[in-house]
């Protein structure tokens, strides 16, 4: 009975952790570029059940037979083996008509410089700061292959390979007059830089941080800059990648986890009641 208490409790703890992960996925269903997590469960080693008071092997001329036969197996509980991030493409590409919004179609990450070092993200919702640097909404500078990226309103565009172009002859730029994007024909395009887009040997080993950032780990490997024609994803300007969380599936999973948790809870209560009877009634001296 004590073993039953531990088995039921391990199931409750595993489902508790799984519920935390699913809840976080649902909370970030509208977060740009969010990648959902999944919990991998692992059963404790099962124990063989043998018939009691039958110990040894009987030998006879034609062979032998076991007088302590295995009559079944006994599960000993479950635990969380790992929590892995799924890097599947987002559910949709949301068109925003904002030149500073960028989305990646394929595998890879934007590189961003933070005070903690270089970090990586799929969130391409960018803007420019007071010094015309392309930054995240947190103010971290987006990295190009040659360093920080300086751009101007309505005078830059991003090709599918991540190359950033600007018009070397920009109407009324010296006068400080804002020109509409449609009025800039890019007749004399110049290359500013190219977005630093990287990938890893094993992206599943990246460590999640706040604000939808990832950092490398020993097992993920160092970031490799993706070259054109070498698996580099397409960059879509004016689009944002939605999260890869399917809210319907996550809600179904949440209901299943809750029912499993309740079932383990009832098993725990039953084991507790049986233990109470064993100690208070069977052992009573009349």
Task: Based on the fold, state whether residues 147 and 21 are members of the same structural domain.
Answer: no
Concatenated DSSP letters for 57-107?
EEEETTEEEESS-EEEEE---EEEEEEEE--PPPS-EEE---TTBEEEESS
Mean of the per-residue pLDDT values for the chain?
85
d(CA 10, CA 57) in angstroms, rounded, equals: 36
Q: What is the average per-residue pLDDT within 129-155?
A: 90
Strands 78-85, 134-136: pairing kind: unpaired
Task: Based on the fold, state whether residues 81 and 99 are members of the same structural domain.
Answer: no
d(CA 180, CA 176) in angstroms, rounded, equals: 13
Record the tokens describing residue 8, joined without a space: 């039921």
pLDDT digits (tens, 9 = 90+) for 207-245: 999 889 999 999 999 999 998 877 899 999 999 999 999
Per the listing, tokens 């295995």 go with 70
**Domain containing 27: what range?**
2-86+246-282
Task: Based on the fold, state whether residues 163 and 271 are members of the same structural domain.
Answer: no
Task: Based on the fold, state whether residues 233 and 123 are members of the same structural domain.
Answer: yes
Least confident of 15-24, 110-119, 275-284: 275-284
Higher pLDDT, 150 or 171: 150
- pLDDT attached to residue 100: 93
| CA-to-CA dists, residue 198 to 76, 109, 143, 153, 243, angstroms | 43, 5, 11, 26, 19
Beta bridge partners of 143: 148
- pLDDT attached to residue 175: 43
Task: Based on the fold, state whether residues 196 and 67 are members of the same structural domain.
Answer: no
Task: Based on the fold, state whether residues 100 and 219 are members of the same structural domain.
Answer: yes
Task: Based on the fold, state whether residues 158 and 225 are members of the same structural domain.
Answer: yes
pLDDT digits (tens, 9 = 90+) for 96-123: 988 899 999 999 999 999 999 999 999 9
251: enclosing H helix or E strand? helix 247-277
Task: Based on the fold, state whether residues 107 and 166 are members of the same structural domain.
Answer: yes
Could you give the number of structural domains in the chain? 2
pLDDT digits (tens, 9 = 90+) for 65-100: 556 667 778 778 888 888 999 999 998 999 998 889
Task: Based on the fold, state whether residues 122 and 214 are members of the same structural domain.
Answer: yes
């Amino acid at each position: 009975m004590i073993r039953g208490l531990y088995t039921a409790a391990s199931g409750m703890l595993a489902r508790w952790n799984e519920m935390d992960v699913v809840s976080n996925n649902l909370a970030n269903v509208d977060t740009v570029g969010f990648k959902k997590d999944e919990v991998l469960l692992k059963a404790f080693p099962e124990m063989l059940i043998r018939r009691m008071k039958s110990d040894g092997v009987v030998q006879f001329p034609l062979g032998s037979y076991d007088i302590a036969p295995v009559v079944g197996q006994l599960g000993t509980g479950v635990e969380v083996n790992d929590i892995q991030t799924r890097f599947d493409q987002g559910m949709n590409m949301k068109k925003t008509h904002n030149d500073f919004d960028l989305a990646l179609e394929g595998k890879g990450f934007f590189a961003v410089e933070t005070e903690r070092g270089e970090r990586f993200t799929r969130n391409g919702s960018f803007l420019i700061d007071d010094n015309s640097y392309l930054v995240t909404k947190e103010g971290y500078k987006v990295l190009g292959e040659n360093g920080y990226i300086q751009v101007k309103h309505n005078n830059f565009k991003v090709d599918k390979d991540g190359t950033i172009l600007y018009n070397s002859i920009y109407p009324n730029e010296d006068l400080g007059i804002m020109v509409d994007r449609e009025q800039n024909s890019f007749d004399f395009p110049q290359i500013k830089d190219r977005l630093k887009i990287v990938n890893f040997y094993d992206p599943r080993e990246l460590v999640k941080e706040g604000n939808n950032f990832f950092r490398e780990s020993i097992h993920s490997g160092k970031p490799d800059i993706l070259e054109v024609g070498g698996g580099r994803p397409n960059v879509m300007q004016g689009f944002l990648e939605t999260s890869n969380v399917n809210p319907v599936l996550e809600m179904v999973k949440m209901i299943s986890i809750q029912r499993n948790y309740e079932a383990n809870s009832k098993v725990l209560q039953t084991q507790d009641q049986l233990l109470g009877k064993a100690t208070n009634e069977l052992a009573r001296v009349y």
